[in-house]
Amino acid sequence: MNRGRTIFSQVMEFLPHKEFAACVTRHGGERYVKSFSCMDQFFCMAFAQLAYRESLRDIECCLRAHPAKLYHMGIRGQVSKSTLAHANERRDWRIWADLAQILIGTARELYRDDEFGVELSQTAYAFDSTTIDLCLSLFPWASFRKTKAAVKAHTLLDLRGNIPCWVHVTPASVHDVNALDLLPVEAGSFYVLDRGYLDFARLYGLTRQAAFFVTRIKSNTRYHRLYSWPVDKSTGLRCDQTIVLSGFYSHKDYPDKLRLVHFVDPDTGKRLRFLTNNHVVPALTVAQLYHCRWQVELFFRWIKQHLRIKSFFGTSENAVKTQIFIAVSVYVLVAILKKRLYLEDASFYTILQILSVSLFEKRPILQALAPQLCTITKGLYDNQMQLFNY
């Protein structure tokens, strides 16, 4: 029941406050802090994400325009540009990384039964990275080229619900394939990778951990066919083969058998060759799994368009990572809100647009996000008796 709370405070209700306090304590986030707590910092940065603020000055101006509402929004400290900049600069970014992982665990539990277009009982992940351009003179620690700086966000996306399960931020000079060394691996799960991750030694590491991968084979990869299995060519499949690598170094790195699936896209006519270490699932499922890899590209495009990760509020490495992980936390928080309020028909875009213009309003959040639902249910619990019956 709404008791005069702002919509922003109702969104923040989905935040696990006890677990958040544990993250702050673990990394000493409030050591020597007197007034501006980590919770205040998160609320201000989350407000910037939800309200599409572009700078620390924007955050300060917007929040100070409603001083009487800040307490009811959960912000107890004095909001100022310098205080927020200092907090982003000095407080350990791992606080927000840990908070994001806690929220991710909650969201994955809510979305674990969702379908993603492939009949598969195992968990499927898409793994890729996106490059975020920076100014070299302001971000020298992220040097990429002679005249350019950038960072990479290596992201593991759960295809059920499109939840980012793991995010690792590095300078853009770090090659994508190196992120496989840090990737958390779950036995029995599928990892869908782009052709840029074709490193047989690292892929063999996934096999030894009882995980499955699906990727594309390069044209210069040497292999020897052992068996061919029948396929239904009306589905776009051309062949399903069991192979072994025949190159000296590739065979040394991956000595086991592999599976090669040839597929022709019926829409574009493009010929694709998929490589996997799973010999059980149908060949068409392998092609469908790789097609779902596009979801991680759509996720990168979406967060760059609708969250504040292209322009940063600070120039240090800690400030950049803080903003990225808080943006991920806000994205997952909205995903949790969407599921717990049963807003199945509302898109993430719609929810964020409505929240951006109603954060200071004091009304039930469901009335703001789903007014048609409130109209339908109005009067169901009304105890007022009718004077006349027609």
Q: For 218-276, how does the pLDDT look when each residue is reduced to its tens digit (9 = 90+)?
A: 989 999 999 999 988 888 899 999 999 999 999 999 999 999 999 998 888 889 999 99
Q: Is 100 helix (H, G, I), strand (E, B) or coil?
A: helix
Q: Give me the amino acid identity at 23.
A: C
What pLDDT does 381 receive?
A: 38
Alpha carbons 302 and 348: distance in angstroms, whole number? 10
What pLDDT does 60 receive?
A: 93
Residues of the chain with pLDDT under 50: 1-2, 373-390
What pLDDT does 145 receive?
A: 83
Alpha carbons 137 and 322: distance in angstroms, whole number? 20
Closest CA to 315 of 132, 85, 154, 93: 85
What pLDDT does 85 receive?
A: 94
How many residues are there in the chain?
390
Q: DSSP characters for 125-184?
A: EEEEEEEEEE-TTT-GGGEEETTEEEEEEEEEEETTTTEEEEEEEEETTS-GGGGGGT--
How many Å is the maximal CA-CA distance in the chain? Answer: 90
What pLDDT does 3 receive?
A: 57
What pLDDT does 136 receive?
A: 84
What pLDDT does 375 receive?
A: 45
What pLDDT does 379 receive?
A: 43
Alpha carbons 99 and 109: distance in angstroms, whole number? 16
Report residue 4: phi and psi, to 5°. 75, 15
**Structural domains in the chain, sorted by start:** 7-94+311-377 (no CATH), 195-292 (3.30.1370)
What pTM was computed for the model? 0.87
